[in-house]
Amino acid sequence: MADLPFLPYGRQNIDEDDIAAVVQVLRSDYLTTGPASAQFDEKLAQAVGAKHAIGCANGTAALHMAALALALGPGDCVIVPAITFTATANAARFVGAQVEFADVDPHNGLMRVEDARAAITRAQSKGWKVRALFPVHLAGQVCDMAGLAQLAREHDLTIVEDACHAIGGIFDGHRVGDGTFSAMAVFSFHPVKTVAMGEGGAVVTNDDALAQKLRDLRSHGITRDAARFRRPDLAFDADGKTNPWHYEMLDLGFNYRLSDIACALGLSQLTKLPAFVARRARLVARYDRLLAPLAPLLFPTNRQPRQNPGWHLYVALVDFPALGRSRTQLMESLRARGVGTQVHYIPVPHQPYYVDLYGRPDLPGTEAYFQHCLSLPLYPGLSDDDQDRVVDALFQELRP
């Protein structure tokens, strides 16, 4: 085993084209907020079918910007599924809003319409004004967006899709991020995601006003657009010409910009998005076939209908009590065989900050999913032989 490479649960896929694109920027006049940044926003919008894309520092920044753009604040409440990374809920807390955690499907970790409806009822019973839904497309599978959109209309809520796992996916004939069922969607370009930029994120929207707000928030709330200036006494000289040095801070924003270095990598990676999505889908189908004999000790998550997911993770559900081993024991044994695994995720309401804030909610679907989930290696550079090693290791551990 020592001569074989370790197989992590996820990793970036960088080739010479990507390296050349970054080197070209390093040799240019702009390292940040230059032409590559504008091109990345344009190409990302085209890739997901949205009118606007606003690239930013990371997926957490994207979620924060979305919450700010909706003017969420104290007294408001956001519905967030309990199975997600902490950033989804934290974005609401960053702006002072409350979070009501929704339960999830125990078989795939996705928030269902009935889960969101129950969470809305609980939040209203606490006197909170529910203003937004933040559904999470876990592992690449998309929530029932048509159903959630109908629920949102019934309660006058705004939907922000946490699509950090799902770029390149198709559901019901729609591209993830095309804005059919939501006001905004957010993406992440962390190295383990399908498109890697080192660090990076984006918000996409079809709403012109939201897009302008998001661009302001990304860069200190500052504009250099003379048409938006509010201080003509400072903006213009005696002849009415715009002072070339003038800028105005219209709102309290942040330094959430992306560098041209990162955007050069992102632009190169976007050209490979269809190939990355297709390779991940082939690996998922191959896992499904090769691991089928391990049922009922191990089986894949339930699949959503009418979807071609942009898979980020391959999550297996393991019956650890029937196996007679803990998840920790299995993960350590697999690691000794050169196979990395991970857990996505510890339920956010289990985190001490949220327990202190709200107590521990009773969410049976969440508990069931969390007790059984285990993410296996999945990334475009995983060869069939590598995947066979993962499968063989699982057979040796589960059926010695």
CA quadruple 96, 97, 100, 101: dihedral positive or negative? negative
Which residue's entry shows tokens 């019934």? 154
> Cβ contacts of residue 289 below 8 Å, gap of 6+?
none
Spatial CA neighbour of 53 closest among 195, 229, 222? 195
Contact call for residues 198 and 265 (beta carbons, < 8 A): yes
338 class by beta-carbon count within 10 Å (0-12 exposed, 13-18 middle, 19+ buried): middle
CB 194 within 8 A of CB 283: no
User: Is 213 among the residues known to form the active site?
Assistant: no
Q: For residues 19 and 334, what is the distance between their CA atoms, to the nearest angstrom?
A: 33
- Residue 62 — φ and ψ, nearest 5°? -60, -45
The one catalytic residue in 51, 129, 193, 241 is: 193
Residues that are catalytic: 193
